[in-house]
Amino acid sequence: MVLLAWIFCFCLLLAPATAQSWATIPFSTQSLPIALRSPYLNSWLSQGKAPSATPFASNTFWPVFWTTSPPAQIVAWYVAIRVDGVMYNVFGGQNLPHVANQTAAIITPTQTSFILQAGPVNVNSTFLSPIEPTDLVRQSMPFTYLYVDVTSADGQPHSVQLYSDISAEWLSGDRTMICNWTANINSDYISLQTQLQSPIPFAEIGEQALDTTAYLSMSKQASTTWQIGGNNRGVFNNTGVLLGTQENNFRGISDAFPTFGIAVDLGNITQTSAPSVWLLGLLRDPVVQYTNGDGNKEMRSSYFWSQQANPLAAVSFLLNDSSRALDAGNAMDAKVLADARKISSPYADMVTMSARQVMSAIDITVKKDSSGKWNTSDVKAFFKNMGSVGGPGVNSVDVLYSAFPAYLYFNPAIAGYLLSPLLEFQNSKQYALPYAAHDLGLAYPNATGNSNPHNEGIEQSANMLIMTLAHAQFTGDGALISNYYTLLRDWADYLVNNTLSPGAQTTSDGLTITNQTNLAIKGIIGIAAMAKISTFAGDSTSATHYQTVSSNYENQWQALSFPSNTSHLLSGYGSQSSSGLMYNLYSDKLLQLNVVPNSVYDAQTTFYSQNSASFYGFSRCKHRISSLISGNGSPYDWMMLAASTSSNTATRDALVLQIHNFVTAGVTSNSFPLIYDPTSAKAGGGPGR
């Protein structure tokens, strides 16, 4: 069934382009990922609900930065084609008399393609954001590709020129800031660069970094031309050839919007033999400042600098790599989709939506050693919390926990690079709290530590134990456990003292009732994880101790949270009319701990199945709804975690379908949000904070 649907979808592409309508394949969604390679190279296109009619298409709107809540911040990337002297918009909301007709948008885990008809030719413009998780050099390069293919629609040759530009909107959320620019031209490539004239290291406005340099590049051929200025598009329109000049009045980003354009003349063709390729990069160096275990501030650079001498060397490397990169993207898509479709087709769609998102939330870094050489044994990764759950911040532990399965899937070593700075900082004299920190710094990219007391001691301590064990289980690498064993045991002891009566402690979902069932079980699972960690460390006495405590606590927890006269877990001890989404059971399954007996999973699954009729999510989970009404949403990751604990596939699939319903309903133009309100189907923040 799944395969048939997929093939059928492609039939639409072959149908003649009638009456300006189009579909998004293989599922309809309003907002499509465009360029997602780092927390700052992160753009989406809200093209409207498909299938639809123009003017709602990729070439009538501008792509926006990931924080799409109003006002959406445009980060322009523009594409046009000139056919037999007539210029058509292909991508971006420039107002032109001739607008190509979109016939399809196609989305895969690594790519978004737009298929358009521009007069007598068909155009395929494909945005690839590579996911190369086991190649740290390529994965850490914040560059994204655009491939454009053209085919004659009437079999006749046509004179074709292609054009793409960016604006300097990528450089700041304050569009009055002054940018400057340089054209780097040699025999191999054209690379147009722009940066703020007064960059501010590690600072942000509107979540956009103020220390980036943007590069739009293309391999040099006889027919490639470039121009920097305010009227490149007009020049292209007139002749199809750019002037090779730059304006000299460095100015504000939105002051007669300087654009950085590169064009290629393909001559008279019936079809391109290879795509024309543009490369967009957004570089920062260093990317993160990190306070290490000795209390010193480390300036950390993207991992790829250990292999590339300078930005233009990186540009040249990636331009030469463009054909391999596309093949690798296709191979990654095939693997991810095959794996995800083993669960279900709607699940594969959700993975398609989130794959680029989750991989672009991190910076993988190295630093130089005292002799000035890159130390590639010293890898640390940093995660920007791009959502409104858990507050902004660096490596926010509870949000990292939700994203963790993706890193374990793509490359579990990355999961370890993300844990490493959290463990190092908290193992040092700078950190004295008896429970784990909420994050590693209040605002990305300043990983300068956070020792502030907070009310999520159980949540975060258990998260750290669970993630550390997961990393060891998925990699077989016990280094983090042996380096930080005492710290991990302290957190486990904290859980032993606190988790059975969590009192007023909270989880990250904003629920405030006392003695939360879902929180207590997370701590109990954390203690069971510690038993396995002790086994890993060869400390069998402690392993037995933590195992005994967790199983004893689980018995008491069940009596408190699952009285014999109810059919499901209560969301608070003794709160007889309560119920909830027990998403924290997920890690019991992930780590194969078997803390909670199947009878509890079965009862909870039956409860979910009886309550899964609502279209977008769990509005009948009573204590959840109270927090929803007060403004928080139903996090899709929490629903996804709960779905993973279902004892039967029908209930699991029903939960996944609710999220799918939300994404495909066209009720919001936001990018895939971290949370949404299942009652109003409004995105509850982040992206769209």
Ligand X SMILES: *[C@@H]1O[C@H](CO)[C@@H](O)[C@H](O)[C@H]1NC(C)=O
Task: State the residues that interact with ligand X by CB under 6 A.
Answer: 13, 19-20, 87-88, 96-98, 100-101, 113, 115, 117-119, 124, 126, 147, 149, 159, 180, 182, 188, 195, 197, 199-200, 202-204, 233-234, 237, 267-268, 275, 313, 316-317, 320, 326, 369, 375, 377-378, 434, 443, 446, 490, 493-494, 497, 501, 503, 514-515, 560, 563, 565-566, 573, 576
Does residue 670 contact residue 72 with C-beta atoms inside 8 Å?
A: no
Shortest CA distance to 410 belongs to which of 469, 474, 344? 474
Which of helix, strand or coil describes residue 401?
Answer: helix
CB of 358 to ligand X, least distance (A): 21
- As measured in angstroms, the least distance from the Cβ of 86 to ligand X is 8
**Cβ of residue 21: shortest distance to ligand X, in angstroms?**
10
DSSP sequence for 359-383: HTTEEEEEEE-TTS-EEEEEEEEEE
Q: Is 96 left (phi over 0), alpha (psi -120 to 50) or beta?
A: beta
Q: What is the 3-state secondary structure (H, E, C) of 493-552?
A: HHHHHHCCCCCCCCCCCCCCCCCEHHHHHHHHHHHHHHHHHHHHCCCHHHHHHHHHHHHH
Residue 145 CB, shortest distance to ligand X, in Å, is 9
For residue 195, give the H/E element and its range.
strand 189-196
In whole angstroms, the minimum distance from the beta carbon of 100 to ligand X comes to 5
Name the residue with tokens 């007060």.
630
CB of 469 to ligand X, least distance (A): 19
Q: What is the DSSP letter of 140?
A: T
Nearer to ligand X, 98 or 341 (CB): 98
Decide whether 344 or 514 has the Cβ nearer to ligand X: 514
Q: Which is nearer to ligand X, 557 or 676 (CB)?
A: 557
How many angstroms separate the Cα of 613 from the Cα of each of 418, 640, 678? 38, 16, 12
Cα distances (Å, whole numbers) of residue 243 to 236, 431, 557, 571 = 9, 58, 73, 67
Q: Give the CA radius of gyration of the chain.
A: 26
Q: How far is the CB of 649 from ligand X (least distance, A)?
A: 30
Q: Contact 287/363 with Cβ under 8 angstroms?
A: yes
Please list the residues that pair with 597 across neighbouring strands: none
The number of beta carbons lying within 10 Å of the beta carbon of residue 249 is 9
Name the nearest CA neighbour of 172 among 299, 62, 284: 284
CB of 385 to ligand X, least distance (A): 12
Of 275 and 678, CB closest to ligand X? 275
Cα–Cα distances (Å) from 48 to 192, 638, 658, 660, in that order, read 31, 27, 21, 17
Query: Smallest gap, in angstroms, from Cβ of residue 216 to ligand X?
Result: 16
| Cβ-based nearer residue to ligand X, 326 or 521 | 326
Closest CA to 90 of 146, 25, 37, 142: 146
Q: Give the closest residue to 672 by CA, choosing from 660, 661, 687.
A: 687
Name which of 323 and 649 has its Cβ closer to ligand X: 323
User: Residue 394's closest CA among 407, 384, 381?
Assistant: 384
Nearer to ligand X, 446 or 547 (CB): 446
- Cα–Cα distance between 386 and 348 in angstroms, integer? 22
Q: Are 503 and 515 in contact (CB under 8 A)?
A: yes
Q: Pick between residue 293 and residue 344 the one whose CB is nearest to ligand X.
A: 293
Residue closer to ligand X by CB (options 249, 377) is: 377
State which residue, 199 or 252, has the beta carbon closest to ligand X.
Answer: 199
Q: How many CB atoms lie within 10 A of CB 673?
A: 26
Q: How far is the CB of 652 from ligand X (least distance, A)?
A: 27
Q: What tokens appear for 304 in the block? A: 């790829």
CB of 71 to ligand X, least distance (A): 20
Question: Which of residues 42 and 126 has its CB atom nearest to ligand X in the complex?
Answer: 126
- At residue 61's C-alpha, the angle toward residues 55 and 65, to 5°, is 155
CB of 428 to ligand X, least distance (A): 14
Closest to ligand X by CB, 233 vs 300, is 233
Nearer of residues 80 and 525 to ligand X, judged by Cβ: 80
Determine the distance from the C-alpha atom of residue 96 to the mean position of all C-alpha atoms in its chain, rounded to a whole number.
33
DSSP string, 577-646: T-----GGGHHHHHTT---S-HHHHHHHHHHHHHTTTSSSS-TT-HHHHHHHHTT--EEHHHHHHHHHT-
Smallest gap from Cβ 680 to ligand X, in A, equals 30
- The CA distance from 309 to 193, in Å, is 17
Nearer to ligand X, 233 or 689 (CB): 233
In 3D space, the residue among 298, 181, 196 whose CA is nearest the CA of residue 245 turns out to be 181
Nearest approach, Cβ of residue 656 and ligand X (Å) = 27
Q: How far is the CB of 590 from ligand X (least distance, A)?
A: 25
Nearer to ligand X, 51 or 267 (CB): 267
